[in-house]
Amino acid sequence: MEQEPFKIRLSLKGQVPNVKSIKSAKPNHVVTIAPQMSMGELLETAYELFGVPVGKNYQVEIYAGFPPKALDLSDAGSKASLVSANGIRGGDAIVVRIEKITKTKKTGNGSNGQATSSRGNKRSLSQVSSTAVVSSSSTSSSSPLRPQRASAKAASDSFKDVIKAQDKMMKETNQKKKSSNSAKSEPTTAQIAARKKAAEARVAAANSRKLAALPGGRTLTDDGPPPAAATSPPQRSRKSAKSLFSGLGSEDDISFALISSLDGGNGKVSKVLRSSMRKTVEKSYETSKAVVRNTAITSRKAEFVKCTSKTEQTMNSMGTVTVKYPKSLEGIGFYEEQVHIITPIMLKAVVKAVYDDHNEDDPEGESASGREMLKPQNMALLSPRVFWSLWYHYQDKCSSIEEALALLLPDLNWSFLHQRSRRLTEKAKENLRQEQAKTEDNESSTHNANVGIAAIQEVERAMENMHDDIVISARERAAQAALNRFDGVDNSVDSWELCTPSDEDIDEIKECLADSNEKFTDDDMTKVADIMIKELTIRNWRELANAKVVSISNCLASHNIAMSDEVLEAVITSAQLKSLDEIMLEIIDSNQDLYEILHAMNSATPHDLSLWSDVPLLLMEEAPSKINVSESDLKKYCTRALKALKSLEWLELYKTGIL
């Protein structure tokens, strides 16, 4: 009785040489062979299936059995032996390795023999397809075959099922490991219930945490930089930010990193330095352009051209003109700017508002605050609209911006325009701040150039269609106030009060502790939070925002917990930043769309919103998109912002930056 063909698997293992012809993408092949196939034919099958070049310094080695052992196929006798004689049965997994042949010194006979062998291999490889994969119909009927054992036949039939079962088992094991590693603790029922009790404003605020990243949005009495937590967006992670040069061990390493950044690489140092350079160039460009504007006026080379398109003229604007002035002293090329010209009456109000923002005891040592912004070059940089409007009205009566200001408001003292700014050293500024802190309790005496910039931009926002005090008489203003009291005011405004929630949420307190960048363990944060809740009645970050550093420090000290004032201030600052957007949403009745518009207008704090209380209509006109809120509601929100400022003094510290 003849033996039936059986299947084996050839698996490519080990390091595969980097040769283009070798086929390593499919490392496993299932082939059907006859028991009477020789080992030489099986070897040729492996050469062809895996694309191993014959006679190119690479050879195929075959491993069979368990554990796999290399079969010696070095001589002709071993290659002529049958696969069944070498213990290969149906369902066996044969390991194939491709090894590089070590070169030896060739002789004449050796080279001829090798060439003959190569030609012999090539001839046999051309016959592999008819010998390697054998079907039952292609098996010779004349040669006697031994019948296959029942157990071997069953193993051959279940070979694919065994492989699938093993793959499935390994996949399930890996999934269990991943699920066990990624398992996280679920919040308790009490925590879920406590969070559901939060007010609508707090729920809405959880989806909008942008206020923590407001540029320049913090003004402290000591004019110092805010703690680290105040400038970073609120996160639960306590990982401190890494330096750009982390991992560099010497000055040579840092020098190499800085020099390599100039090669246009995409490293972190390169990106930061190039970004900083771009910002510096942009700032330098704007500063240079301001100098060119002022030079164009002193040389009387600025020209005003009425725009051909129809421009709307209002009570406070005379329409749009195009200003044309040379780019340099040589006059090579021209700049062109379109400017809305302000009326003389409105211009007086703008300049007067900036002039009145004055503080002789300015801790920055400028001694002029907003007045410094009225110097020609500063005005050309910060408010080109006021700069060009001033020259538009007085170009025929004077020769400089200083003279134009004197003509606009002759009763004011303009001598400071010709004086140098008084700048103090950092040590002198600190001494001045300390001296003022002794005489002024709970009052902020910090007025710097940002106040002047804010005054200019806030007044410019309020120019279009504004009923100015200079234009409206006292009688008209009184009548308008009466109408507002009886017709346009929502009676519910006076009943609104800012309420601090009393819900207990230990996670909020722990999150603020984590934001301080201090390396607290979870147990430490839980202990401190419990003390705050039980002894200080600080149950959430809204109450933590109203707390004082001294009271918390004394309470923790009684429990032998030492925490520096800097860390506590960072914790309270984090709580205040997280509470700001909640308070704003309470003020505007949780109107998320309005909040986003206020944020885009740099008016997303109670202090900034309160500045619009006299001109709520202008807030609607200056908005980048349509505000679906009535003017009376905007007036109500501005009044609420004023109430919030009186209720919580720390809200005054947070103002949206302009530059």
Reported as a single tens digit per residue, the pLDDT across 66-106 is: 778 888 777 777 777 887 777 888 888 888 888 877 755 44
Instruction: Compute the distance between CA of residue 71 and CA of residue 74 in angstroms, rounded to an integer.
Output: 9
Please check the confidence at residue 138 and state whether its pLDDT lies above 50: no
CA geometry: angle at 243 spanning 238 and 246, to 5°?
110
Report the 10 Å Cβ neighbour count for 376: 22
pLDDT, residue 627, reads: 82
Please check the confidence at residue 134 and state whether its pLDDT lies above 50: no
Work out the pLDDT band at 530, boundaries 50, 70, 90.
very high
Please check the confidence at residue 49 and state whether its pLDDT lies above 80: yes
Instruction: Compute the distance between CA of residue 335 and CA of residue 293 in angstroms, rounded to an integer.
Output: 9
CA geometry: angle at 43 spanning 42 and 47, to 5°?
115
Rg over alpha carbons for the chain, rounded to the nearest Å, is 42
Instruction: Compute the distance between CA of residue 636 and CA of residue 607 in angstroms, rounded to an integer.
Output: 15
Lowest mean pLDDT among 278-287, 393-402, 511-520: 278-287
Task: Assess contact for 389 and 341: CB atoms under 8 A.
Answer: yes
pLDDT, residue 533, reads: 92
pLDDT, residue 325, reads: 87
Q: Token digits for 139?
A: 């098996």
CA separation, residue 7 to residues 83, 135, 162, 230, 603 (Å): 12, 10, 14, 70, 78
Residues in a beta bridge with 219? none
pLDDT, residue 64, reads: 83
Instruction: Compute the distance between CA of residue 187 and CA of residue 504 in angstroms, rounded to an integer.
Output: 15
Q: Is 520 helix (H, G, I), strand (E, B) or coil?
A: coil
Q: Is 9 helix (H, G, I), strand (E, B) or coil?
A: strand
Sequence spans of domains, the chain: 6-161, 200-220+227-235+492-653, 251-282, 285-445
Q: What percent of the chain has pLDDT over 90?
A: 4
**What is the mean pLDDT of the segment spanning 396-405?**
89
The helix/strand count (H/E) of the chain reads as 27, 8
Please check the confidence at residue 147 and state whether its pLDDT lies above 70: no
Residues in a beta bridge with 338? 322
Amino acid at 515: D
Q: What percent of the chain has pLDDT over 70?
A: 58
Give the phi and the psi of residue 63 in degrees, each rounded to 5: -120, 130
pLDDT, residue 368, reads: 44
pLDDT, residue 453, reads: 64
pLDDT, residue 251, reads: 46
Please check the confidence at residue 444 and state whether its pLDDT lies above 70: no
**What is the mean pLDDT of the segment spanning 506-510?**
90
pLDDT tens, 226-272? 454 444 444 443 444 444 444 545 444 545 555 555 555 555 555 65
* pLDDT, mean over the chain: 71
Q: Token digits for 389?
A: 């409007």
CA 269 to chain centre: 17
Instruction: State which H helix or E strand residue 97 sits in.
Output: strand 93-100
Q: DSSP letter at 486?
A: I
Comparing C-alpha atoms, which of 529, 580, 537 is closest to residue 230? Answer: 580
Between 307 and 362, whose confidence is greater?
307
Task: Assess contact for 37 and 84: CB atoms under 8 A.
Answer: no
Lowest mean pLDDT among 368-377, 423-432, 457-466, 518-527: 457-466
pLDDT, residue 417, reads: 81
Comparing C-alpha atoms, which of 531, 547, 612, 534 is closest to residue 579? Answer: 547
Q: Token digits for 188?
A: 């308790």
Q: Is 304 helix (H, G, I), strand (E, B) or coil?
A: strand
pLDDT, residue 53, reads: 80
Report the 10 Å Cβ neighbour count for 250: 8
Between 241 and 320, whose confidence is greater?
320
Lowest mean pLDDT among 93-97, 169-173, 440-444: 440-444
Between 505 and 177, whose confidence is greater?
505
The correct CATH number of 6-161 out of 3.30.40.10, 3.20.20.100, 3.30.1340.10, 3.10.20.90 is 3.10.20.90
Lowest mean pLDDT among 240-244, 406-410, 494-498: 240-244
Q: What is the pTM of this model?
A: 0.32
pLDDT, residue 572, reads: 92
Residues in a beta bridge with 12? 96
Report the 10 Å Cβ neighbour count for 631: 13
Please check the confidence at residue 119 and state whether its pLDDT lies above 50: no
Q: In 197-267, which ranges are continuous DSSP H helix? A: 200-206, 228-231, 251-260
| Locus of tokens 């700017």 | 337
Please check the confidence at residue 28 and state whether its pLDDT lies above 70: yes
Instruction: Compute the distance between CA of residue 183 and CA of residue 36 in angstroms, rounded to an integer.
Output: 56
Please check the confidence at residue 145 and state whether its pLDDT lies above 50: no
Task: Assess contact for 384 and 337: CB atoms under 8 A.
Answer: yes
Buried b / exposed e along 151-186 (16+ C-beta atoms within 10 A) = eeeebbeebeeeeeeeeeeeeeeeeeeeeeeeeeee
pLDDT, residue 455, reads: 59
Please check the confidence at residue 464 and state whether its pLDDT lies above 60: no
* Helix/strand/coil (H/E/C) assignment for every residue in 319-383: EEEEEEEECCCCCCCEEEEEEEEECHHHHHHHHHHHHHCCCCCCCCCCCCHHHHHHCHHHHHHHC
| Locus of tokens 């028991």 | 35
Work out the pLDDT band at 211, boundaries 50, 70, 90.
very low
Instruction: Compute the distance between CA of residue 394 and CA of residue 212 in angstroms, rounded to an integer.
Output: 45
Long-range contacts formed by 157-164: CB under 8 A, 24+ apart:
158/91, 159/7, 159/9, 159/30, 159/90, 159/91
Helix, strand, coil distribution of the chain in percent, nearest 5: 50, 10, 40
Between 71 and 158, whose confidence is greater?
71
